[in-house]
Structure 1
Amino acid sequence: MKFSKALPWLPSLLILAGCPSQPPEPNPPGPRLDKISVTCTPTSLVAGQDAQCTASATDQEGAPISVEAYTWTSGDETLARVDASGKVTTAAAFSGNVAIRASARSGDSLIQGENSLAITPKSPTIHSRDVITAETWRAADNPHLVTFDLTVFMSGSLTLEPGVVVRFAAEAGLRLFDGTLLAEGTPEAPILLEGQDRVTPGSWNGLLLATTESVARLDHVTVSHCGAPTGEGGCLVINEQAAPVLRDVSVRDSGAVGVLVADDGSIFGPGSARLSVSGSKGPAIVIGANQADSLPPLGTLSGNASNAVELRGHVSRTLTWPNPGVPFVIPQPMKINGDKSLATLTISAGSVLRFGAKSLLYVGSKGFLGALVVDGTAQNPVLFTADSDQPKPGHWSGVNVMNKASNPGRISHATIEYAGEKPDSVQYPFAGPGNLTIFGDLFGVPEGANTFVMNDVVVQKSSHSGIFLTNGGSLGMGSSRLTSRDNGTYPITLEADAVPTIPQDTVFTGNGTNVVEINNGDVTRTQTWSRLSVPYLITNPDMLVGVAAPFPAATLTIAPGTTILFAPGTALWVGFGDTRGSLSAKGTSAEPIRFVADSEPAPRGHWRGLHFWYAEGSQLDYVVVANGGNASGVSSSYGILGEGALNVYREIGPFVTHSSFSQAKGCAVTVSKGDRQNTTPVTTDFFSPASNNSAGNNGSDTQCTN
């Protein structure tokens, strides 16, 4: 009984012993930053007035909470600025609504509050008369309003304080004639010249800086929304030999050209730098070619109709165009012509020159001396190209180097492309159909005067020839590493005497006809034609090797393995008439020299063959002559020509060995019987066993007498 009485409380003890302990109740959260409120006094003010803003903070329960410091910012600093204490300074020239914000960080969150200020316009300071004395326009009087074309005359000077805002009514402007304009802002307080409506491009005439006697310095100045049709053609215009100094100047939203520097001797003054142009409906910058060396280091060019420097006029003095970092655009033909002395234009490394339709660069002409120096580098080559987003061959008329001084210039590390269009034949009668055309003694310049040194140059995508050399024009000694590719006709067209100036390392590829065309001239100087990677093509109907007495005979030497193609009706003459010449064409069994037709298959007599007159010293060894001998209807002052592949009119001995003759219209070899003027009987048997010559498939596989 005693035991049973203890049972009722025993289970309770067991239950209590088996239960875990309960967690303690969490502490309530502490206050945290939840909201910032901003109050400004006053909230409505006139532009130029100040306001004081304060901030207060509350926690998640809406109770005030302390913040160590607030960060103050303005939604539009052109309207109002706020300092670290919440003091707001408004710009006297601008009006509108602006948000003033205070922010602080709570943990990883940034909490921000704001208030809006309504800024009403301030009455402008109106300027309605010209400046004829010394005037200073102050920022405290912003905004300034000009209601007409205000002029600063000789006796006047106008100073704009840092931070000045000048607005211009429709068709108003600011013009400087022989006076002084000092607009020297700072990065913190720039000067602003703008249209009254601040929206419409070309709403006012613009800023005109004129005459050599004027003094103008602009620092940290923005000129915007000018370039009206009633103005001078640009937003900021420099003319009449003015030379203003512009530093950190921006031109925005012109209705015409951004910055226009007239081709009258006007320049950017020494020390100019960081000129930026954006949003112009015309080119960003236009300047005379003769003054382009004054172009300052540029800032940003963006959003203009042409983000480029357009060059107008001609070059008549020695100067260097700097690389502005944007293209030069040359819309019209341009000459480099010195009047009384040599004018040399140097183009800096990395420059890009874009040429308008039928434009060209014309270096020297008649009595005017000009030279071109292109100083590209491997890292920064120079590009001459078409001013087109989708250029086509023949867009412009190329670089034309005319008669010049003894050292006309050079081109290094450059590409010339998309030219080849023949220009106006009246104004530019001698310009050639190539990307690059080089003339020689067209107007009596001494022999060798027009050599033009080229290294690491690419000529491509011409509608005609890549390089065109004529009238004694040639490539200068030391030229190397040329590439002529993808041109419409020939990679190089030149005269006979210029052939030795072609660098042996020239690359020819992808051209309409991948040969070197010899279209004119005779071999009048002793020379060697190297074996190139492509054949030579004779299109000159009667190419002569020879020179008249008293000069020594001209000898043409042709390297082993060379192929010379002949167009229909052409011929090679050696020592004809009163000239004396010789041909040394000594191939090898592995690398014969070939004189053949320019097409395959070709008929007998496709061309007129080889003709030897006063040709003592000539030697042909391991030579192939094919498809020559067409003399139908052709005669010389010495009578009817032979129809052989080889035609010999004077005895010069057994000068042909190990050679073959085929596909001639007449005999393989024709020799003279000596009954005509300036001929002698030719008795050499060119098919004697000792000569080891052969013939096949000619009109007659023999030696005939004519």
Structure 2
Amino acid sequence: MTMKNHHTAKSTAQIAVCLIMLLLGFGPGAMAATNVSGTIAVDTTWNLAGSPYIVTGSITVQGVDGADEVTTLTIEPGVQVRFNANTYLFIGDSNGNPGALVAQGTAAAPIRFTANSTTPSAGFWHGIQLRNTVHDATTRMEHCTVEYAGKNNYGTNALQIESASPTIFSCLFTNSGNYDLYFSGTVGGSIANCTFNHGVNFGGTGQVAFSGNTVNWNNSYPVQLPADNVSTFVAGTTFSGLETSSALQVTGSYLTMDSTWKSTIPYVLGTMYLRGLDGSDGVTTLILEPGVEIRMNSSSYFFVGGNSGNPGALVAHGTAAAPIRFTANSTTPSAGYWRGIQLQNTSYDTTTRMEYCNIEYAGIASGGVHALQIENSAPTIVSCQFTNSGNYDLYFSGTVGGSITNCTFNHGVNFGGTGQVAFSGNTVNWNNGYPVQLPADNVSTFVAGTTFSGLETSSALQVTGSYLTMDSTWKSTIPYVLGTMYLRGLDGSDGVTTLILEPGVEIRMNSSSYFFVGGNSGNPGALVAHGTAAAPIRFTANSTTPSAGYWRGIQLQNTSYDTTTRMEYCNIEYAGIASGGVHALQIENSAPTIVSCQFTNSGNYDLYFSGTVGGSITNCTFNHGVNFGGTGQV
């Protein structure tokens, strides 16, 4: 009995020692640790019998051994490779002979690249570097765990792929001291089903096939990718552990490949140029899916197309429930933090569409840039909202077109271009510092398609330019400020450009300005100003303290169209300048119909005739006289 008990105690002790060894990672055969260092120039296999392999000095795998003339290091499933402090594993080199790494573990027996320490810290060893002469077709890491590698202060990373195209499959990266994965040079290959805990930094060029990967987010080591690599990476990646401030860093300035950016993570951009010839249509197109958030760095632009050269298209289709957000990359942004979106000359009109987009903190007044600038292009903008702009929300230049529908503006619209844009269902929350400014030919469609809110007594739409050449109707939803205006042209089925002013319209004329209808010769024009007793039309001074003769007056000239021109229930105030020999209403070689109009505070005669005149003047009130200097019967 005593012998039996003695053998039992001895066996128990042996079992305990074995268990401790297993827990420490010393399996069968592991007691025979293999020290390795230096250059491996012949084909070599590291197997379980020699595991763990202790890397006492940096290793370079490079040579022309074997039938393929590529020196290959093969590591079998379950092997552990333990690195001394500050050591590397180099496969290939920047030039010279090739090298290859075949590290194919299994899910049950992964290969482990780790620190040779019982108390390692992140960045204990430098990492694995697959370099320029690596043999891409052979090099493969599968079911590998890479631990404690990469040194931030040395700029080394757990796995560095330098001008190489390896296959990396089902690998796990933990406790890195810098990025888990870093690319440089021209790269390719594939990264599939891997798990990253310390970010990915794509500092190279080329395309890598990403699929099925997981990034457990670390704000200190965010994913950094060139714009052309974002689409494939995000499509093949699950992000977890994201915080409010987390965002993918888009590096570089050019997006040249067709791309789709998903809403699984926000994106941080500097100035970006979206242009190129990619795809079957020959137009580089960026599609932003609903819910995407773009965070723009300070003073940055987002260009679509260019003034010349290659085209670009932006398809930003948000939804009411998941709008796309263009905003500032700041937790405490101010108006005008970034410069804005510019849809330029070569932006592709057929495709470019922004729908349910929120544009925030864009436009810089001192730089003359605006939240959304449409330059020689004709995009479709639907249900977009502009807030906290530092300059105008929307600015047009060049020859423009397209449509603006159901949008909300809080910092005005400035139409500095030419052409016709279809406006409908928009809202302008008025800001007197950034009033709406439009050429006369664009006023009618804009006002017809816009609701104005928050108007103050001084609020008014600024009519720019001097010529109204298209048939127009101006509604009474907002006052209008004009400089000298020439109403003349051949528009419409009657070949006469006609301006209709609806009851209640208020026209505020700038100092010393005229309102001409028709001309002494040339194209005709017609003014149909039909007010009512309850809602008269008012022609007045653009001043809070006007004096008599502030502006020059209305002139119905030789080519004004008599059949149509009619002023009814109009009040003409502060017009006519004696020193200039101009009057509040001058009828020159024309025969209009003037009914129930009132003239006050004129600086010269209320009514003056010259040339051969006719028409009728009915139920009008004059306070500053009538001077009939013409001929004919009125």
TM-score, normalised relative to structure 2: 0.72
Cα distance in structure 2, aligned partners of 1:623 and 1:314: 60
In structure 1, the residue matched to 2:443 is 499
Alpha-carbon offset, residue 272 of structure 1: 1.8
Alpha-carbon offset, residue 382 of structure 1: 1.2
**Partner letter of residue 88 of structure 2?**
F
**Partner letter of residue 78 of structure 2?**
A
| Compared CA separation, residues 656 and 238, structure 1 to 2 (3 A) | farther
CA offsets 1:349-385 (integer angstroms, 9 cap, x no match): 2111122222122233332333333211122111122
- Say which structure is richer in strand: 1
| Compared CA separation, residues 530 and 626, structure 1 to 2 (3 A) | closer
CA offsets 1:518-544 (integer angstroms, 9 cap, x no match): 3346333x2324537433444xx4343
| Compared CA separation, residues 616 and 247, structure 1 to 2 (3 A) | same
Query: Which secondary structure state, in structure 1, belongs to the residue aligned with residue 141 of structure 2?
Result: strand
Cα distance in structure 2, aligned partners of 1:380 and 1:241: 37
Cα distance in structure 1, aligned partners of 2:431 and 2:167: 50
Cα distance in structure 2, aligned partners of 1:517 and 1:326: 42
Alpha-carbon offset, residue 653 of structure 1: 0.9
In structure 2, the residue matched to 1:100 is none
Alpha-carbon offset, residue 249 of structure 1: 3.3
Matched, 1:347 2:292: no
Query: Which secondary structure state, in structure 2, belongs to the residue aligned with residue 644 of structure 1?
Result: coil
- Give the conservation status (yes or no) of the 8 Å contact 2:508–2:540: yes
Alignment of 1:151-166 (within 5 A): 151-152=91-92, 155-162=99-106, 163-166=110-113
Cα distance in structure 1, aligned partners of 2:569 and 2:273: 47
Percent identity, aligned pairs only, is: 18
Alignment of 1:400-411 (within 5 A): 400-404=342-346, 405=348, 407=350, 409-411=352-354
- Give the conservation status (yes or no) of the 8 Å contact 2:248–2:267: yes
In structure 1, the residue matched to 2:160 is 208
1:279 to 218, 238, 258: 218
CA offsets 1:536-594 (integer angstroms, 9 cap, x no match): 444xx434333599x95543344444444444455444445775242443434144444
Cα distance in structure 2, aligned partners of 1:530 and 1:40: 100
In structure 2, the residue matched to 1:252 is 197
Query: Which secondary structure state, in structure 2, belongs to the residue aligned with residue 140 of structure 1?
Result: coil
- Give the conservation status (yes or no) of the 8 Å contact 1:560–1:592: yes
Query: Which secondary structure state, in structure 2, belongs to the residue aligned with residue 295 of structure 1?
Result: helix
| Compared CA separation, residues 409 and 237, structure 1 to 2 (3 A) | same
2:604 to 642, 662, 666: 666
Cα distance in structure 2, aligned partners of 1:330 and 1:632: 61
| Compared CA separation, residues 377 and 592, structure 1 to 2 (3 A) | farther
2:149 to 179, 187, 195: 195
Alpha-carbon offset, residue 40 of structure 1: 8.6
Cα distance in structure 2, aligned partners of 1:591 and 1:624: 9
Alpha-carbon offset, residue 128 of structure 1: 2.6
Cα distance in structure 1, aligned partners of 2:244 and 2:292: 20
| Compared CA separation, residues 300 and 339, structure 1 to 2 (3 A) | closer
In structure 2, the residue matched to 1:629 is 575
TM-score, normalised relative to structure 1: 0.65
Matched, 1:128 2:55: no
CA offsets 1:326-349 (integer angstroms, 9 cap, x no match): 2222222x2333479544433222
Alpha-carbon offset, residue 610 of structure 1: 3.3
Query: Which secondary structure state, in structure 1, belongs to the residue aligned with residue 441 of structure 2?
Result: helix
In structure 2, the residue matched to 1:140 is 78
Query: Which secondary structure state, in structure 2, belongs to the residue aligned with residue 580 of structure 1?
Result: coil
Matched, 1:470 2:397: yes
- Give the conservation status (yes or no) of the 8 Å contact 2:547–2:574: no
Query: Which one is further off, 606-615 or 386-395?
Result: 606-615
Matched, 1:331 2:270: yes
Matched, 1:555 2:555: no
Cα distance in structure 2, aligned partners of 1:274 and 1:566: 65
CA offsets 1:14-73 (integer angstroms, 9 cap, x no match): xxxxxxxxxxxxxxxxxxxxxxxxx996666798x326xxxxxxxxxxxxxxxxxxxxxx
**Partner letter of residue 236 of structure 1?**
L
Alpha-carbon offset, residue 149 of structure 1: 6.5
1:460 to 387, 393, 402: 387
- Give the conservation status (yes or no) of the 8 Å contact 1:516–1:535: yes
Alignment of 1:18-417 (within 5 A): 49-50=21-22, 124-125=54-55, 128-132=58-62, 133-138=71-76, 140-145=78-83, 147-148=87-88, 150-152=90-92, 155-162=99-106, 163-167=110-114, 171-177=126-132, 179-180=135-136, 181-185=139-143, 191-195=145-149, 204-211=156-163, 214-222=165-173, 224-227=175-178, 235-253=180-198, 258-262=199-203, 264=205, 266-269=206-209, 272-281=211-220, 284-297=222-235, 298-300=237-239, 302=241, 307-315=246-254, 317=256, 319-332=258-271, 334-338=272-276, 342-368=283-309, 369-404=311-346, 405=348, 407=350, 409-417=352-360
**Partner letter of residue 287 of structure 2?**
T
- Give the conservation status (yes or no) of the 8 Å contact 1:359–1:396: yes
- Give the conservation status (yes or no) of the 8 Å contact 2:183–2:204: no
- Give the conservation status (yes or no) of the 8 Å contact 1:122–1:143: yes
- Extract unaligned runs of 5+ from structure 1: 1-38, 52-78, 81-87, 93-120, 228-233, 425-431, 441-449, 634-639, 674-680
- Give the conservation status (yes or no) of the 8 Å contact 2:325–2:359: yes
- Give the conservation status (yes or no) of the 8 Å contact 1:124–1:141: no
Cα distance in structure 1, aligned partners of 2:506 and 2:448: 15
Alpha-carbon offset, residue 406 of structure 1: 5.3
**Partner letter of residue 216 of structure 1?**
T
Cα distance in structure 2, aligned partners of 1:533 and 1:379: 31
Cα distance in structure 2, aligned partners of 1:391 and 1:522: 41
Cα distance in structure 2, aligned partners of 1:682 and 1:263: 80
Alpha-carbon offset, residue 388 of structure 1: 1.6
Alpha-carbon offset, residue 244 of structure 1: 3.9
**Partner letter of residue 201 of structure 2?**
L
| Compared CA separation, residues 567 and 579, structure 1 to 2 (3 A) | same
The structure with more radius of gyration: 1
Alpha-carbon offset, residue 421 of structure 1: 0.4
| Compared CA separation, residues 703 and 438, structure 1 to 2 (3 A) | farther
**Partner letter of residue 364 of structure 1?**
G
Cα distance in structure 1, aligned partners of 2:460 and 2:13: 83
Alpha-carbon offset, residue 224 of structure 1: 4.6
- Give the conservation status (yes or no) of the 8 Å contact 1:627–1:664: yes
- Give the conservation status (yes or no) of the 8 Å contact 2:91–2:99: no
- Give the conservation status (yes or no) of the 8 Å contact 2:188–2:207: yes
Alpha-carbon offset, residue 693 of structure 1: 3.2
